[in-house]
Amino acid sequence: MLHIKKIAAAVAGLTILSLPLATQAQSKKAAPTVVEAERFLKNAEARLEKLGNAAQRAAWVYETHITDDTEAIAAQANEVLLGAVGEIAIQARRYNKLPLSADSRRKLKLLQLSLSLSNDKDREAYARLSAQMNGAYGKGKYCKNPADESSCLNLGQLEAILAKSRDPVEMKEAWLGWHQTASSYKNSYAEYVAVSNKGAREMGFADTGALWRSQYDMPADAFAAETERLWQQVKPLYESLHQYVRLKLQQTYGKNEVPSSGPIPAHLFGNMWSQSWENLYPIVKPQGPAANLDIAETLKQKNLDAKAMTKMAEGFYTSLGMEKLPASFYQRSQLTKPRDREVVCHASAWDVDGDQDVRIKMCINQTSEDFLVIHHELGHIYYDLAYRKQPLLFKGGANDGFHEAIGDTVALSVTPNYLNKLGLLSEVPDPSQDIGVLMDRALQKVAFLPFSYLVDQWRWKVYAGDVKPQDYDKVWWELREKYQGVKRPAPAAANGFDAGAKYHVASDTPYSRYFLATILQFQLHRALCREAGYSGPLNRCSIYENQAAGKKFQAMLEMGTSRPWNEALKAVTGEDQLDASAILDYFAPLKVWLDAQNKALAQ
Ligand code: X8Z
Ligand code: ZN
């Protein structure tokens, strides 16, 4: 799916057939040479590419058609790749001390940032459990009456209830219904964590969490400190929003449902994980004439289907001077939910062959939210296409946060003005309505900050062994209360696994990337707007049709993983550190407004 995973996999996948013995013998004989190291890297890249592509194809077929057979095939392909990745990672160590070129040294380092499971049984278990949990999440359903299949609701249907209903009883049932689906793979997850840690330890990491934190061109501890620094920078903004939303929810649902202090029940935020709150816009929008930013009705009226929506998003990228998507993209992508089979609906972007075979997999609905998600996914795709000329090991984002930030940066330019130009919004809100527009964005972006921070706070503890399966839920909810200020709508279920009801836990996809991306996209937006010669308020800037900004962006995308991420950042922004001042600048007028409202409403 995400090529980042693929690269790691590819790196791992470079199994050099039956080389371990040969290599051992060699190592006794003579110290390795630079020439050998270069040959090793070349072979590794070739092998990883082949196995990586095979695993991608198997995973694609699995996730777009879940059956026992496709599950087994996907697991097998991954197992083979995993074997190769581990073997190559261990072999790579042999060349660490050689005076190699900067590129080769970087490649060797990247190769060693992966799991190595030398035991066949461990590899088999890892691949099997991973495929099984991914499929279980995709197939998950809540059945009001377990004996009656027609009473069953899938995740999309349960999410729609949370998005639209204003009935707390109905919302609570949908929330609890989905969360209980994850219990079925709690044991698998615990087993998987143990195996994964074995693989991290073989490579010299304390655990898988430490391995994840080591992927940012800085020591693992420095990365943890860096994310905490950023969180502290944005926390006051989140708190202002949380307080205002509390007051509005209280006006809507009453004090019995919404307490005046302490955490708020999680089923009231219009989203299964309370991770983004844009569905609360009608409840929290400023009084008086406020911008209507919902394009769902227009999409339906104009019959703009999933493909038309995707073409519109593509049009943004081509307006920046980027290439048209290859024809195969539209032939091979899954844009809508098939009626006749189980699939993983969670949106993802796929770089199947490291070249032009790029696809997205979504279950697109005609909503504002999905219109933005399409821009997000195409960000991954345009990154993939931009770095396709790089060697395999550099086909990836500057770091995984960059990969997540590209499409979102573009989507920040999907302003009311732009939507109006496209015919999706009949009225352009007057600048006096900017607070409403900013509010809508804050419900997406500011609300997301603590969630995107805490998911890996939890996982880092789980991987470190600080949280055992019997305490998964306890610690998960401690973190959700502490960072998001939300609480479980009912007491914890016996053997519950609420964290596992989030896709990225079930699919073991790291999540800090989204926290970084949320900060980073505003930094990129600010810089690209500057490049476009824009100097007004950041929320009104759109880089649509701006080729100068597009060129700068494209140059960064083409770098892939070839250089430390600070250099990629510098190429666009001139800055070499992550800096939350851009997101704070963007929302500065809203922060002033929120604080005034909160003060007035508290009286
Ligand atoms: O998973 C995603 C993308 C695919 S990389 C749809 N996102 C996170 C989520 O849904 O939890 C985008 C925002 C956060
Ligand atoms: Zn993404």
Question: Closest ligand to 384 CA?
Answer: 2
Average pLDDT rounded to a whole number, residues 454-478: 98
Q: In the beta sheet, which residues pair with residue 153?
A: 142
Is 503 one of the annotated binding-site residues? no
Name the closest-CA residue to atom 3, ligand 1.
Answer: 347
- Going by alpha carbons, the residue nearest to atom 6 of ligand 1 is 347
Q: What does the pLDDT read at residue 270?
A: 98
Select from 470, 487, 510 the last residue of a domain: 510
Confirm whether 56 is domain-assigned.
Answer: yes
**Minimum-distance ligand 1 atom for the alpha carbon of 2:** 5
**Residue 29: inside a domain, yes or no?**
yes
Q: Is 101 domain-assigned?
A: yes
- Cα–chain-centroid distance for residue 417? 27
301 within a domain of the structure (yes/no): no
pLDDT band at 55 (very low <50, low <70, confident <90, very high): very high
Burial of 101 (0-12, 13-18, 19+ CB in 10 A): exposed
Do 88 and 148 lie in one domain? The reply is no
Assess whether 24 and 87 both reside in one domain.
Answer: yes
Whole-number pLDDT of residue 1? 53
From atom 7 of ligand 1, which residue's Cα is the shortest distance away?
A: 514
Cα separation, 541 vs 178, in Å, equals 39
380 annotated to a ligand binding site: yes
Structure confidence at residue 18 (pLDDT): 38
Helices (H), 362-445: 368-386, 400-412, 416-421, 434-445
Q: Which residues are catalytic?
A: 377, 504
CA distance 408 to 83: 35
Within a domain: 428: no
* 154 and 95 housed in the same domain: no
Q: Of 2, 346, 350, which is best to mutate to test ligand 1, by the most ligand atoms within 8 angstroms of its C-beta? A: 346
Residue 101 shares a structural domain with residue 161? no
Nearest atom, ligand 1, residue 348 CA: 4
**Ligand 2 center to residue 360 CA distance, Å?**
11
Query: Is the pLDDT at 176 greater than 60, yes or no?
Result: yes
Rounded to the nearest angstrom, the distance between the alpha carbon of 247 and the centre of ligand 1 is: 28
Residue 264: strand pairing partners: 486
State in Å: Cα 591 to ligand 2 middle: 28
Same domain, 228 and 99: no
Does the pLDDT value for residue 415 go beyond 50? Answer: yes
d(CA 260, CA 208): 40
Count of CB atoms situated within 10 Å of the CB of 389: 11
pLDDT value at residue 289: 79
Ligand 1 centroid to residue 124 C-alpha, Å: 28
Q: 330 lies in a domain?
A: no
Q: Is 30 helix (H, G, I), strand (E, B) or coil?
A: coil
Q: What is the pLDDT of residues 487-508, one digit of tens each?
A: 999 999 999 999 999 999 999 9
Q: Is residue 229 domain-shared with residue 177, that is, in the same domain? A: yes
DSSP lists the bridge partners of residue 486 as 264
Q: Point out the ligand 1 atom lying closest to the alpha carbon of residue 448.
A: 14
Question: Which of 408, 514, 520 is the pocket-test mutation for ligand 1 (most atoms within 8 Å of CB)?
Answer: 514
Enumerate the β-bridge partners of residue 9. Answer: none
Distance 155 CA to ligand 1 centre (A): 15
Residue 2's pLDDT is: 37
User: Do 150 and 49 fall within a single domain?
Assistant: no
- Confidence label for 29 from pLDDT (cuts 50, 70 and 90): low
Domain boundary (107, 136, 165) is at: 136
Residue 571 has pLDDT above 90, yes or no: yes
* Res. 127: pLDDT tops 70: yes
Cβ(501) to ligand 1 under 6 A? no
The number of helix segments (H) and strand segments (E) in the chain equals: 27, 6
**Full residue range of the structural domain in which residue 459 is found:** 143-186+222-289+446-510
Number of independent structural domains in the chain:
2
Specify whether 30 is located in the same domain as 81: yes
Q: Could you read off the pLDDT of 196-207 as tens digits, one per residue? A: 999 999 999 999
CA of 346 to the centre of ligand 1 (A): 8
Q: Please state which of the ranges 16-30, 98-112, 141-155, 512-526 shows the lowest mean pLDDT.
A: 16-30
Does residue 21 carry a pLDDT above 80?
Answer: no
Q: Is 39 annotated as a binding residue?
A: no
Does the Cβ of 348 fall within 6 Å of ligand 1? yes
Domain finish residue from 460, 486, 510: 510
CA distances from 13 to 16, 38, 116, 231, 293 (A): 9, 17, 11, 36, 46
Are residues 96 and 163 located together in one domain of the fold?
no
> In one letter, which amino acid is 313?
A
Ligand nearest to the CA of 361: 1
What is the pTM assigned to this prediction? 0.96
Which residues have CB atoms below 5 A from the ion given as ligand 2?
404
Residue 9 pLDDT: 37
pLDDT surpassing 50 at residue 245 = yes
Which ligand is nearest the CA of 381, by number?
2
- Ligand number nearest CA of 516 is 1
Together in a domain, 110 and 174: no
Nearest Cα to 279, choosing from 166, 374, 411, 164?
164
Q: Where is 24: in which H helix or E strand? A: helix 19-29
Q: Do 168 and 245 lie in a common domain? A: yes
> Closest Cα partner for 320 from 413, 235, 401?
413
273 and 155 inside one domain: yes
Residue 468 placed within a domain: yes
- Ligand 1 neighbourhood includes 373 CB (under 6 angstroms): yes
In a domain, 250, yes or no: yes
3-class secondary structure, 405: helix
Confidence at 28, pLDDT banded by 50, 70, 90: low
CA 373/CA 300 separation, integer angstroms? 17
What is the model's pLDDT at position 279?
A: 97
Whether 347 is in the pocket of ligand 1, judged by its Cβ within 6 Å, is yes
Dihedral angle at the C-alpha atoms of 162, 164, 168, 172, nearest 10 degrees?
A: -20
Cβ(514) to ligand 1 under 6 A?
Answer: yes
513 is in an annotated binding site: yes
pLDDT above 70: residue 6: no
Is 105 annotated in a binding site? The answer is no
Helix or strand or coil: residue 14? Answer: coil
16: pLDDT strictly greater than 50: no
